[in-house]
Structure 1
Amino acid sequence: MTQPVTLPLWLLVLVLVFAAVTASTHLLFPSVRWYFRRRAERLVGELNKRLERPIQPFKLLRRQDMIQRVIYDPEVVRAVTEYAENEGVREDVAFEKAKRYAREIVPSFSATAYFGVAVRATRWLSNKLFDVRLHRIDDEALKAVDKNATLVFVINHRSNFDYVLVTYLAGDRSALSYAAGEWAQVWPLSRIVRAMGAYFIRRRSHTELYRKVLSSYVKKATEAGVTQAVFPEGGLSRTGLVGPPKLGILSYIVQGWRADGHDVVFVPVSLNYDRVVEDRVLVAAGRSGTRRFRASAPEGIRFTFRYVWRRLRGRETRFGVAGVTFGKPVSLTDLAQNTADDRDLVELLGERLKDDIEAAVPVVSVPLIMVALLQSGGTGTLSGIAHQIKNLRDQLRHQPPDFGLADGDDTALNAVLDGLVVRNILSQSDSTYRIVETDIAAFYANSVRQFLAADAVASIPELATEKKSAKT
């Protein structure tokens, strides 16, 4: 027992490595995890003191625990059985498929990543790129929303920058849980998006098993009071119009609401920009009739470096105004009094939110310029455009929030027109401006179409239209 044992050096090293790993796993790692978890809990406690809506415990669950809750939901278990029978596979195979779906959907929220990095970064980026203007239709009603209610921000989808802008503006209220599309499922972006609390959606998945897994997560988040943000159009608008809602996500949220439980309150959020960075990509997608945009990561990187270089040389300025309107909250409990059927309730909710968002889209300068030029046959002088914009403003219906240039500010108008010339959307010959890309002009003009008089609407060319779908 006490005799020495001779070992080769490589074997001794291997034994020591295994011993170190075992000791770390059983002794060190749990202590380190406990330490960082305690720090995270203290951070969340401090954040909850200053947030209007505290971070819900459901968001702070370990991701693995959240996945287990989803896949053992009775409805998911039934869907697994049905999938196995319909596809002719074993139940354990179908269960693994459901688990893969859950791993894909469920986020991994980090309060440090969200409030320590994301909110600060979005604030900096938003103000560097845009002149951000905010309007609240009924701020008192928003502040009066029951603290126990689930808050859902419902947003029109103009640009991928929408995520950045809304995260910044809602940063003092709560941590938003976004419904992110397949575009974000690219490493390392997917890990960053998950850490911010977003959950992923396959827009084109039509299997019942996938929908049950997604529905289970959304319902549990709604029941737990998680503040959410959704884009009901299901994708970026390719026409500039506010598209019809896809009712899938809204139906899952309604399913997570109970008449005898806490309320679910929807806040319509309307966005508009003087410049949509993806404008040409979106219009091209509209022409082809597909949502498969041709923009690539290298193109995005080239655009970023080109913009930064021009900005440093003074040849580029900010992108103009980014206008945001927070609309009047819509209570699901109040809305449900108008119908007893869940399907009718979802359709009524979708229509109400679309109408509220559309009616509050901010008016900004570039759309007004485009309408003014289209009304004048595609050409105009500085003074002619200024006069036409004033006439358009006088005839605007529904009194939308107006963040456009002040009447008579020819210097600012000239700067906006020069920027459109640089982008080759307009051309300039002497004192006359002419539209070069009519589809781009129509894309911007469509964003304020609902406020225009009939003759102005008639001057806007038709672009590819969005098709309505009731599925996610």
Structure 2
Amino acid sequence: MVDIISNRVQEAYGSFRLPGMFSLGTTQTVDGSWFSTYTMLKRFGEQKKRQRLVDKDNDRKMRENSLYQLKEVPTQRIQLDAAPLPGPACRFCSPKESQQQLDQEDRRRSAVDILRVTSHAGLRTNSSSLDWGVWCPHLAQTARVTKFDYPQVAGAVMSDERVQHALETAAKESVDEKRQELGTSESDDTFDEDRFYNETMRKNQKRAQKILIGMRSKLSDFVLRITSWVLYKLLPCFISGVAAHPGQVEMIKRAIEKNPDAPLIFLPLHRSHLDYIMVSFILLNNDIKCPLVAGGNNMNIPLFGSILRYDGAFFIKRKIDPLTGKKDHVYRAILHTYLQKCLTAGHNVEFFIEGGRTRTGKPCMPKSGILSVIVDAFNDKSISDALLVPVSINYEKLVDGNFVREQLGQKKVPESFSSAVSAIVNVLKARYGLMRIDFNEPFSLSELVKSLRSTTELQYSFNPEMRSLQHKPSSSSLFGTDVVQEDQELRTLVEKIARHVVYDCAKATSVMTTNALAFLLLNRFRDGAPLSILTEALDELRDILSSSSRDLGFTGTSEDVIRYAVDILGPGLVTIEKRGVQQFVKPITIVPNVIELSYYSNSLAPHFALDSVLITCAVLMKREAEQKLLEQKLPTEEVSVGRQHLFDTSMDLCDLLMYEFILSKPCQKLETLLQDSFDQLCMRDLLAQQEIEYTEEEHIARRLAARLELEDLDDGVSEDDYFSDSASNNGHQQQRVVDDIPVYLPAEKHCDRIVLQSVLAPFTSSYAAVVFCLNKLVGGNSMVEAEFIKLCIKEITTRVELGECKYGESISIDSVRNCLKVLEKRSNIEITNNSGVRIVSLAAEFDSTAEVLSIIQSVEKFVPI
């Protein structure tokens, strides 16, 4: 309470002006009462300032319950001048002259709590009285933000040529179906084709109008302002702060100034229902035009759906094509046309690139339906360009509760008015810590398309001999299948852009206190650890993350961070108890608690994924080598593995996990990133390799190979840069030596390697159980996909209960589904659709016990013992 009062007094003092005292060209007599009030406030403010400086060290130790409350002034967070701002545009896909780079002053500015920033609430030009915004800052802030026009475009949709063509196509298909249903002879005598066609056209037109009414947004500047004021009042009740970087906001403004005609396309990762409005809240209060927000029609519930609609939401069906094998031409055309009209009218757009909320805490594979519409609008010149803005959102504690029921295989509870009211009441009674929003550097869509089309990567995607992780374009998402023409090159291009965005968002997501603590507990101290040991481990983790330019969404001593995170997560997930003279922190590793805890840990899983891949494969290969030596009764000291063999095996594991993680951007080579990770592991002494000694002839050969290959690379790449990227170096002399390099696993770093192994262990354990369940399909058996998934969940649960799998978080329906996608892509299984029911069966060439066993062995070898 004292903090709140002191903040308000300081805010009043900072914005206070005497009548005429600071006006130009005027002289007025200062009233004595006003002057005494001013003097009192100034003296009080100076006294508080001195007291804060004197008590700074003592206050740090006593602020356990308010460790991360952000103040009016920018909160001291990590130093941004030592590392690049999170989310820079890709240097490969965006030319340097187009990047909206931050200057050094921006890089030094820290993130601030936007709930305590009211930049529009200061004194207005009124020389006769004190500005009312000093006493009602939130109301003044919402009243004084810049007003924008938000034109309604729904009226122009029905008359569009695309919609009319879709109505005709749907009517003709209905006529053909009716003719086939009646039979040829009967249709000639009794079927009036023209009449039936006209009736069908009228029905489709009515349906199209209904679809448009249910879809359209009613974005209102007035409602946005009301919502902003409500959020200013409600959010502090359960969130300690909403941190955003002012430099990132200024970066977006500069991008708008440089390309004012290009709409902004905000692409956030989706974690909570609160995401729908928070981006608009920040943009509104920074005088940036708010976007239309694509949302699933499950959110169109009474009252709340209407509020969201006036705040910019437009609602889309989760499945565009209700019947398999038959396109809903009318719905597709309405959606495509409405979005295109919005873009050409100057609206900004926001949609969640993952489709739905992540259930695991790590980014999901992108869904490219809406993005394909935007790319199509650019291709047909409806818009000259668009600025893609990846957005990263993270919470110290998820406001929506948890997704444990769904991960255990239970059906998702649909949203309703009563459930929404109940959720709001429960939220207002709890504490959820800090929320962090990061805006990445805007991409120019025109430059990104040009870059991806010109790269040989796009050509390699059609080459079956090229070794890369290729993915099928999305055929099922929150926004349904792609709504533009089935152009393979376009689909591949859109998918690459989508994967690029998700990768950038994951890299720019700030690490929160709960992410760091959960990661350490589940991967290093699963049985708990003394607070002092855990503090040292957190210090080490912070150093590793900071050195890799990963933003930390917290500050303070590691001991304070741990205590604070334990308090936020609660006793259901983490406990802290006294054992003797020291305190002991322990995670709750029983199901379902550990599944919820893993949600927070998984935010860091993509960051360490490649390291975990290399360590997992290195340990696997060493184990195999030792086993062979034991069989030959030979000593197993100083066992090494071949580096090239290690990279090949790592690529196999990456291929297995292709639907779990996006390990590289489309403009990067995965082999290059593996090499970089390998070098980092060697620098940390987790791996060691024999140094390469080149002869003079080999040095000459390598330099010659470098010069020849540099001719095909972009300008500005030096030979030193070339040699630092050994995966891109195809010199024969280099390759000859690399194949023979032995890699060792230093014994003193054994425990650190176990930590990295455990990052991917829950996923590979899930996959091992799924492939084991393929035995149920041997002999031509088939099973409904939903039932097979339940069987897999039951198998994983049994393994956890028996202790065969020590990772309770392996019970994950998302991992089961991702494994089935991999098996289908590898043609191990076939998934057919029978009247809307998906059926799983083994492919003919794998329908035997021996073949299933080989599949099981190919997966189980990656599971740590």
TM-score of the two chains, using structure 1 as the length reference:
0.78
Structure 1 183/125 Cα, relative in aligned 2: closer, same or farther at 3 Å? farther
| Aligned-pair CA distance for 1:121 | 2.1
Contact 2:292 2:314 in 1 (8 A): yes
Secondary structure of the residue that 1:214 maps to in structure 2?
A: helix
1:394 corresponds to:
543
2:306 corresponds to:
191
- Residue 151 (structure 2) pairs with residue 60 (structure 1): yes
2:319 corresponds to:
204
Per-residue Cα deviation, 1:316-339 (whole angstroms, up to 9, x for no partner): 5x4112111110101011112132
Which residue of 215, 233, 238 corresponds with 2:354? Answer: 233
- Residue 425 (structure 2) pairs with residue 305 (structure 1): yes
Q: Which residue type is aligned with residue 112 of structure 1?
A: F
| Aligned-pair CA distance for 1:197 | 2.2
- Residue 160 (structure 2) pairs with residue 73 (structure 1): yes
| Aligned-pair CA distance for 1:383 | 2.2
2:585 corresponds to:
433
1:318-397 equivalences under 5 Å are 318-338=431-451, 339=453, 342-374=490-522, 375-396=524-545
**Distance in 2, Cα, partners of 1:327 & 1:108:** 28
**Distance in 1, Cα, partners of 2:563 & 2:349:** 41
- Residue 222 (structure 2) pairs with residue 112 (structure 1): yes
Q: Which runs of 5+ in 2 are unaligned?
A: 1-141, 176-198, 322-327, 455-488, 613-752, 764-811, 822-865
| Aligned-pair CA distance for 1:457 | 4.8
1:93 corresponds to:
203
| Aligned-pair CA distance for 1:385 | 2.4
**Distance in 1, Cα, partners of 2:143 & 2:443:** 25
| Aligned-pair CA distance for 1:421 | 3.0
Which residue of 414, 417, 421 corresponds with 2:570? Answer: 421
117-126 or 199-208, which deviates more: 117-126
TM-score of the two chains, using structure 2 as the length reference:
0.44
1:444-455 equivalences under 5 Å are 444-452=600-608, 454=612, 455=753
Structure 1 425/342 Cα, relative in aligned 2: closer, same or farther at 3 Å? same
Contact 2:151 2:345 in 1 (8 A): no
1:278 corresponds to:
400
**Distance in 1, Cα, partners of 2:246 & 2:758:** 31
Contact 1:136 1:326 in 2 (8 A): no
| Aligned-pair CA distance for 1:459 | 2.5
**Distance in 1, Cα, partners of 2:206 & 2:380:** 34
Structure 1 235/457 Cα, relative in aligned 2: closer, same or farther at 3 Å? farther
Structure 1 267/376 Cα, relative in aligned 2: closer, same or farther at 3 Å? same
| Aligned-pair CA distance for 1:418 | 2.9
Q: Which residue type is aligned with residue 553 of structure 2?
A: F
Contact 2:266 2:389 in 1 (8 A): yes
**Distance in 2, Cα, partners of 1:50 & 1:304:** 27
**Distance in 1, Cα, partners of 2:757 & 2:172:** 55
Q: Which residue type is aligned with residue 402 of structure 1?
A: L
**Distance in 1, Cα, partners of 2:265 & 2:413:** 28
Which residue of 407, 411, 420 corresponds with 2:557? Answer: 407
Per-residue Cα deviation, 1:246-280 (whole angstroms, up to 9, x for no partner): 10000111222257653210111101111112242
| Aligned-pair CA distance for 1:92 | 0.7
**Distance in 1, Cα, partners of 2:393 & 2:447:** 26
237-246 or 442-451, which deviates more: 442-451
1:169 corresponds to:
282
Q: Which residue type is aligned with residue 605 of structure 2?
A: R
Structure 1 428/302 Cα, relative in aligned 2: closer, same or farther at 3 Å? farther
**Distance in 1, Cα, partners of 2:585 & 2:562:** 12
Structure 1 49/379 Cα, relative in aligned 2: closer, same or farther at 3 Å? closer
**Distance in 2, Cα, partners of 1:307 & 1:402:** 26
Which of the two has higher C-alpha Rg? 2
1:18 corresponds to:
none
Secondary structure of the residue that 1:266 maps to in structure 2?
A: strand
**Distance in 2, Cα, partners of 1:307 & 1:68:** 39
**Distance in 1, Cα, partners of 2:155 & 2:425:** 43
Q: How many residues align?
A: 402
Contact 1:336 1:345 in 2 (8 A): yes
Secondary structure of the residue that 1:256 maps to in structure 2?
A: helix
Q: Percent same amino acid among aligned pairs?
A: 23
70-79 or 382-391, which deviates more: 382-391
Q: Indicate the structure whose relative CO is greater, using CA pairs within 8 Å and at least 6 residues apart.
A: 1
**Distance in 2, Cα, partners of 1:50 & 1:297:** 31
